[in-house]
């Protein structure tokens, strides 16, 4: 079975009808048509793929392909992947015979949502606290998450995940045992059999999806995505300390690394002139990327005279604001900030103390870890 690993992939939905076409049908072991199976044509030369879904009669059509060789995959949860490799001819009529996944190969398909559901809690409040502090950025229950073997390894991982100390104190004291009891190899072996969900139907199977690999495989960490006023797609690659750009029409990619040192680019947002602003969470700075000159402007994310803030996180620009201020949160301070795009003047706005917040500091982050802003 061929494995396809996509790290740092940008997704777009697009409808086009030109160039090469591959079509065919998907059936089960008995020869019955299968709806909702994702069929993907992989273009290794361009490092991209186009995916469609089989219709109620099992048919699929992938158009808009380059005149090159493709590896074509059929995939559906609960089934084994099937492949046709080195497909060259235009109009190739392919037939996929799907077979149910069983045993370990079925278990490996279990998504994080199901794996997280295996983790039992004393009450919903504790569960929601763990979700807010850890699950939004990590995937408990997946194979990758279950790699720690000894309690000390789990404790090290949880300490890193809970970097802002938002977990309830009693959860910090009991979470390692709870994780070991749920995600050790012995515990996983006792899980109930994974039941795949029903396949997609209706309007969902009308979608056509184009994907592009971005960055270096197994090293990229593409985070956030924003369409530019120039028709290009922009994102940050935390692994490369860079802004990465995709032209969805040509498939061309560009990489522009932040200067001098690692700054930890986290989020990206266009200002009113179309230039991209980036929060640099590691260096405590803000960066502007000029989409015409490709030049960076780096400045402190803190109000003067401070040379940096703590952990600038998420940013937004109000399209109705004539000044075009860039607003952003700082997850390491109980504040949000604004920066003027021309003067680079920063203003800090202190948020309510945890004892002043609606939940009186008893919520998931206890009122001291501002993340999102809208």
Same domain, 229 and 315: yes
First to last CA, the chain: 44
Q: Is the pLDDT of residue 104 over 70?
A: yes
Instruction: Please state, in angstroms and rounded to a whole number, the distance separating the CA atoms of residues 65 and 19.
Output: 5
> CB within 8 A of 253, min separation 6: which ones?
212, 214, 244, 245, 246, 247
Q: What is the pLDDT of residue 357?
A: 55
Q: Quick one: pLDDT band at residue 369, thresholds 50, 70, 90?
A: low
Q: Are residues 79 and 142 in the same domain?
A: no
Question: 256 and 181: one domain?
Answer: no
pLDDT digits (tens, 9 = 90+) for 107-142: 999 999 999 999 999 999 999 989 888 887 788 888
**The pLDDT of residue 18 is above 70:** no
Tokens of 355: 């004892």
Rg (CA), the chain: 24
Structure confidence at residue 2 (pLDDT): 38
Segment 254-263 mean pLDDT? 94
Q: Supply the CATH number for residue 30's domain.
A: 2.60.40.1120
The span from the CA of 276 to the CA of 256, in Å, is: 12
pLDDT digits (tens, 9 = 90+) for 266-309: 999 999 999 999 999 999 999 999 999 999 999 999 999 988 99
In a domain, 364, yes or no: no
Last residue of a domain, one of 151, 173, 188: 188
Output the CA–CA distances (angstroms, integers) from residue 117 to 86, 139, 355, in the order listed. Answer: 40, 11, 32
Residue 350 neighbours by CB under 8 Å, 6+ apart: 334, 335
Indicate whether 86 and 128 sit together in one domain: no
| pTM of model > 0.85 | no
3-class secondary-structure state, position 161:
helix
Answer yes or no: do 131 and 70 share one domain: no
- Phi-psi group of 343: left, alpha or beta (phi > 0 → left; psi -120 to 50 → alpha; rest → beta): alpha
Note whether 239 and 216 are within 8 A (CB).
yes
Res 368: pLDDT: 59
3-class DSSP state for residue 171?
helix
pLDDT surpasses 50 at 15 = no
Q: Record the tokens describing residue 360, joined without a space.
A: 């009186």
Which CATH number is 318's domain given? 2.130.10.10
Q: Are 325 and 225 part of one and the same domain? A: yes
Per the structure, the count of domains in the chain is 3
Confidence (pLDDT) at 216: 83
How confident is the model over 347-365, as pLDDT tens digits? 999 887 766 555 444 444 4
Mean pLDDT confidence for 137-155: 85
| Residue whose tokens read 């206890």 | 366
Choosing from 171, 188, 205, the residue where a domain stops is 188
Is 363 a domain residue?
no
CB atoms within 10 A of CB 155: 15
Contacts of 227 (CB under 8 A, 6+ apart): 233, 234
% helix, strand, coil for the chain, step of 5: 15, 30, 50
**Residue 206: left (phi > 0), alpha (psi -120 to 50), or beta?**
alpha
Residue 308 lies in a domain: yes
The helix/strand/coil state of 255 is strand
Judge whether residue 160 has pLDDT over 90: no
Tell me the C-alpha distance between 159 and 153, whole Å: 10
pLDDT of 28 strictly over 60: yes
* Domain annotation covers residue 206: no
Tell whether 365 is covered by a domain: no
- Interatomic CA distance for residues 212 and 46, integer angstroms: 8
Cα 212 to Cα 20, 42, 64, 246, 249: the distances in Å are 18, 10, 15, 8, 11
Q: CA-CA distance, 51 to 38, in Å (whole number)?
A: 6
Same domain, 220 and 335: yes
- Under the banding of pLDDT at 50, 70 and 90, the label for residue 164 is low
| pLDDT value of residue 228 | 97
Contacts of 169 (CB under 8 A, 6+ apart): none
- pLDDT at position 307 is 87
Question: Which residues on neighbouring strands pair with residue 278, listed in sequence order?
Answer: 268, 287
**Domain of 168, in residue numbers:** 110-188
Tell me what the pLDDT averaged over the chain comes to. Answer: 88
Domain final position from 50, 72, 102: 102
Average pLDDT over residues 206-229: 91
Tell whether the model's pLDDT for residue 1 goes beyond 70.
Answer: no
Q: What percent of the chain is modeled with pLDDT above 70?
A: 90
* Residue 300, phi then psi, degrees to nearest 5: -65, 145
pLDDT at 24 over 60: yes
360 within a domain of the structure (yes/no): no
Q: In terms of domains, do 22 and 76 share one? A: yes
**pLDDT, tens only, 49-95:** 999 999 999 999 999 898 999 999 999 999 999 999 999 877 778 99
Q: Is residue 193 part of a domain?
A: no
SS3 177: helix
Q: Based on the fold, state whether residues 314 and 345 are members of the same structural domain.
A: yes
Pairwise CA distance, residues 333 & 311, whole Å: 8
165 within a domain of the structure (yes/no): yes
Residue 33 confidence (pLDDT) above 80: yes
């Amino acid at each position: 079975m061929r494995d396809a690993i996509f790290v740092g992939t940008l997704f777009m939905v697009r409808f086009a009808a030109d160039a090469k076409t591959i079509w065919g049908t998907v059936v089960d072991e008995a020869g019955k048509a299968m709806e909702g199976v994702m069929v993907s044509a992989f273009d290794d030369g361009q490092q991209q793929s186009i995916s469609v879904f089989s219709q109620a009669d099992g048919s699929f059509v992938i158009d808009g392909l380059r005149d090159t060789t493709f590896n074509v995959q059929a995939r559906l949860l609960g089934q084994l992947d099937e492949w046709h490799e080195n497909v060259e001819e235009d109009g190739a009529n392919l037939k996929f015979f799907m077979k149910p996944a069983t045993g370990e190969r079925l278990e490996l398909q279990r998504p994080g949502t199901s794996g997280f559901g295996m983790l039992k809690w004393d009450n919903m409040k504790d569960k929601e606290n763990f979700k807010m502090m850890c699950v939004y950025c990590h995937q408990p229950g997946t194979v990758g998450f279950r790699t720690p073997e000894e309690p000390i390894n789990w404790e090290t991982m949880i300490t890193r995940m809970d970097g802002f100390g938002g977990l309830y104190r009693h959860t910090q004291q009991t979470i390692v045992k709870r994780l070991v009891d749920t995600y050790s190899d012995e515990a996983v072996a006792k899980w109930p059999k994974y039941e795949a969900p029903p396949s997609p139907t209706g309007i969902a199977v009308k979608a056509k999806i184009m994907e592009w690999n971005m960055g270096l495989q197994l090293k990229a960490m593409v985070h956030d995505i924003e369409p530019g006023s120039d028709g290009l797609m922009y994102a940050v690659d935390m692994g490369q300390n860079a802004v990465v750009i995709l032209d969805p029409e040509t498939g061309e990619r560009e990489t522009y690394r932040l200067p001098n040192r690692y700054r930890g680019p986290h989020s990206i947002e266009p200002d009113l002139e179309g230039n991209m602003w980036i929060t640099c969470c590691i260096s405590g700075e803000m960066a502007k990327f000029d989409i015409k000159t490709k030049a960076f402007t780096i400045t402190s994310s803190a109000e003067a005279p401070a040379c940096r803030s703590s952990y600038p996180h998420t940013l937004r620009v109000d399209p109705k604001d004539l000044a075009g201020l860039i607003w952003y949160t700082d997850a390491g301070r109980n504040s949000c900030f604004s920066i003027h795009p021309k003067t680079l003047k920063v203003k800090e706005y202190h948020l309510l103390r945890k004892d002043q917040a609606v939940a009186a500091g008893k919520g998931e982050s206890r009122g001291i870890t501002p993340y999102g802003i809208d």
